[in-house]
Structure 1
Amino acid sequence: MKPQFNPGKNIAIKTPAHEYAGVIHFYQEILGFKQLPHNAADPFESVCFAFGDKILWIDKITGISQSEIWLEITSDDIPAAQQYLEQAGCSIRNEIEPLPTSVNGFWLSSPSNIIHLVTDK
């Protein structure tokens, strides 16, 4: 049986360290988006903004040369979702960033190399 997939609430822009301040300024000062508090225990600096019914995360990442967009997908059955996606030939990419132990999910790459967090929340 095919697991159900839905859009998640998070969008992340992984930003090179040398562009981070400018990206924050763009969303906060130029566009005037509301900054949100967050308590994520990420190993990098992040700022969150309200983005409609989504949360836009701006993450400061050293060692990358250009920004990347990462999306969240939810599923009702994470083990079945991972098995289904692997059998469909999709790339599971858990090596790209460790997930906190409190997150039940995995990383997935689309055919165009957009990273997705597949989670139950």
Structure 2
Amino acid sequence: MTINATFSAGRNIAMKTPPHLYEVTVQFYRDVLGLKQITKHAPSVGFEFGSNNLWIDSVPGISQAEIWLEVITNDVSSAAEYLKSAGIVRCDEIEPLPEGFQAFWVSSPASIVHLICKDSESW
């Protein structure tokens, strides 16, 4: 299959934590490690993590933390077709995306969630 889409690593990493671990996780990155907190997207909590952004989310119903990664593409439609042809499972039901946001969710074979999106500046 010919692919028109290109892929590159995004700058956003999301850590989904169970509610009972959320505050201590935020405290670890903010107070123990002393990472600079990102405040421009409040109430979302994020930290500068080298050249990346680390976002910490409280997610009811999970029992352990998960890491979600962002992948940038130049062509969301072509990327979706290509990944489908490669047998990669979409999981759009995992978390709603904002209206008009050019993106979708997939799961890697190792069950790591990836946001495939047009532009990381939208996050």
Which band: TM-score by shorter chain? over 0.9
Give the distance between the partners of 1:27 and 1:65, measured in 2 at CA: 20
For residue 101 of structure 2, what is the aligned residue in structure 1?
A: 103
Q: Are residues 1:34 and 2:36 paired?
A: yes
| Contiguous gaps of at least 5 residues in structure 1 | none
Runs of 4+ in 1 over 2 A off after TM superposition: none
Question: Which residue among 7, 22, 25 is the counterpart of 2:24?
Answer: 22
2: distance between equivalents of 1:65 and 1:46?
A: 21
The 1-side partners of 2:101 and 2:11 are apart by 14
Identical positions, percent: 47
Contact 1:38–1:48 (CA under 8 A) maintained in structure 2: no
Q: CA deviation at 1:63?
A: 1.1
From 86, 90, 93, the equivalent of 1:92 is 90
Superposition RMSD on alpha carbons, in Å? 1.2
Query: Would you say the 8 A contact 1:46–1:60 is kept in 2?
Result: no
Matching of residue 12 in structure 1 with residue 10 in structure 2: no
Letter in 1 for 2:46: C
User: Which structure: greater helix fraction?
Assistant: 2
TM-score (norm 2): 0.91
